[in-house]
A and B are shown apart, each in its own frame.
Chain A
């Protein structure tokens, strides 16, 4: 069904950013605009989600050019779910950054760039054209590079150089892949590609092309052995920025993999084994990396890597149940990881450091905040009935039925290491008595009460969303069920895009 309004989430972010650019250096106005724009974006995304959930896939032909020739935007359930989650995260981060960020960074255009980044994310989720996907990836990279370097401290620049180098490399691979794909099929529309690629005789060439996409998306979503840029760059920018990055950017890579491997390159045995090996090694390296870190944000960075492996494993098994697990984990992960970095920012505000050895005693001082944090941490670990538990059920079930014992072992190790690391962090940061020798600088206590509330509010909101995902898992399972059905059988997607033009 054609609907000309599915791009509304993109335009809301675009216009928010443009109006903020007009209020250059008026940081207070920019803060109000940012929160207001994010709220409108959230409502628009929610409406879009409802319409797609009830009415099925919506498409839009940009500039009124018909499907295989023009650029198509497709809102299927996977896209709109991710758009909705991004909007929730965007709303929370924008509240958090309006109080948690130094004025210096805002003066150099933090807010407009942040909204351009969210616009890029929405675009990447909604587009149905593979080259357009690349363009939105570039929008994301450029915005995130600016966000990462704002402030210009030496550590930031060092992290940003690694980040930039690896991501440009990923874009090159991605672009090369698109080039070859266009060469052998003559189309860029993903639905059209899905049909045309079946007619190509040279299967080896398609296999090689799919490797380009695996490498390109693999770097972006930080899988083994291409993950090392992530832990060495995500701890440098301010927490609000790291929250957006940690929660959303690596997940775009996973989304792109889901899309490309369900529509264009249906995984054959080789691809499955390759993805499975990558998944197992990613989980293990991420888990072992997290074991030895004492800085909270570095620890979280390694956990991101570890949990990316869970989702890759789901894609590698490529069956309905496995994809349900992967998509559910994606939904859970976006909410929790964004919140984790916001929590890291809050801890820094409370204590002036993120080194676990120097932290302690937060529970006795701030029991209510600790309770919210505990919900999030338990969800991350996957204590039933919280949100991290349900996707693992699906992943385990499918792994057993496909006899993927290495993956099962990795899942167990990954989960236990997460549990151990989070328990260690909980005891070090919240329960342990604070080391007396260090003079703590508490930036939180002197803040006016409304700022304190605004700082904790986004964490609470995201924790509520996480609780909803966990306690009302049935609704999420229903959504993931439809999504994985659509992914396994792309004919609905192709029909929606190409319509009845098959004659």
Chain B
């Protein structure tokens, strides 16, 4: 499917959607959002790109296989879950930096857990969709 309108629109939509997904990810600690929704939005951005430019081109801009995101994301989450054990606290306890960071706000282990979920969701969704698309 080659459509000039879709291709041009996608060129602008891809960064905006990725930015939006990142916004959702950061917002998720106290408000609606979070790693899962953010990951879905991010993968939708890539799916849109693959509609406009073909799956091969999307895989080219991703450079790595989406499958490799799954273990990275899982590891990030698992480490953030077990990290409090080093301080003698139960797993999953939220650990926070003292000072807020500009734009992002407070950073804690919950954020890293969410980043892990974000990566896993992108990895899983893109792996499934690319597998289906390439088998046609």
Q: How far is the CA of A62 from the CA of B84 in the complex (A)?
A: 11
Provide the bound-state CA to CA distance between A21 and B123, in Å: 13
Shortest Cβ distance from A11 into B: residue: B82
Q: Does A63 contact B (CB under 8 A)?
A: yes
* Distance of A61 Cα from B90 Cα, bound (Å): 7
In the assembled complex, the CB of A40 is this many whole angstroms from the nearest CB of chain B, namely: 15
Q: Which residue of A lies closest to B110 (CB)?
A: A63
The answer to whether B74 touches A18, judged by C-beta atoms less than 8 angstroms apart, is yes
Docked-complex contact B91 and A18, CB < 8 angstroms: no
Of chain A, the residue at the smallest CB distance from B85 is: A4
Asked whether, in the complex, the Cβ of B88 is within 8 Å of the Cβ of A4, the reply is yes
| Range for the number of chain B residues in contact with chain A | 10 to 19
Chain A count of residues within 8 A CB distance of the other chain: 16
For A62, give its contact among B67, B88, B92 (CB under 8 Å).
Answer: B92
Measured between beta carbons, the chain B residues less than 8 angstroms from A19 are: 71
Collect the chain B residues with CB atoms within 8 Å of residue A22's CB.
71-72, 75
Residues of A near B115 (CB, < 8 A) are none
Main SS class of interface, B: helix
Query: In the complex, which residues of chain B have a beta carbon less than 8 angstroms from the beta carbon of A425?
Result: none
Q: In the bound complex, what is the Cα–Cα distance between A275 and B84 (angstroms)?
A: 44
Cβ-defined contact, B75 with A7, below 8 A: no
**Interface contact A21-B70, CB-CB below 8 Å:** yes
B91 CB contact (under 8 Å) in A7, A15, A24: A7
Q: How far, in whole Å, are A11 and B79 apart by their CA atoms in the complex?
A: 10
Residue A64 CB within 8 A of the other chain: yes
A17 to B, closest residue via Cβ: B74
Decide if B78 touches A15 in the complex (CB within 8 Å). yes
Instruction: Name which residue of chain A comes closest to B88, CB basis.
Output: A4
Bound Cα distance from A63 to B74, whole angstroms: 18
Q: Contacts A5-B85, A24-B67 given: A11-B90 contact, CB under 8 Å?
A: no
Report A1-36 CB contacts with B as 1/0, cut-off 8 Å.
Answer: 000110100010011001101101000000000000
- Distance A11 CA – B71 CA, assembled complex (angstroms): 15
Interface: A290 (CB within 8 A): no
Within 8 A of A (CB), among B54-102: 67-68, 70-72, 74-75, 78, 82, 85, 88-94
Chain B residue contacts of A18, Cβ below 8 A: 71, 74-75, 78
Q: Give A101-143 as 1s and 0s: 1 = Cβ < 8 Å from B's Cβ atoms.
A: 0000000000000000000000000000000000000000000
Chain A residues within 8 Å of B, Cβ to Cβ: 4-5, 7, 11, 14-15, 18-19, 21-22, 24, 60-64
Seed contacts A63-B91, A64-B89; 19 additional CB < 8 Å A-B pairs: A4-B89, A4-B90, A11-B78, A11-B82, A14-B78, A18-B71, A18-B74, A18-B75, A21-B71, A21-B74, A22-B72, A22-B75, A60-B91, A61-B90, A62-B90, A63-B93, A63-B94, A64-B90, A64-B93
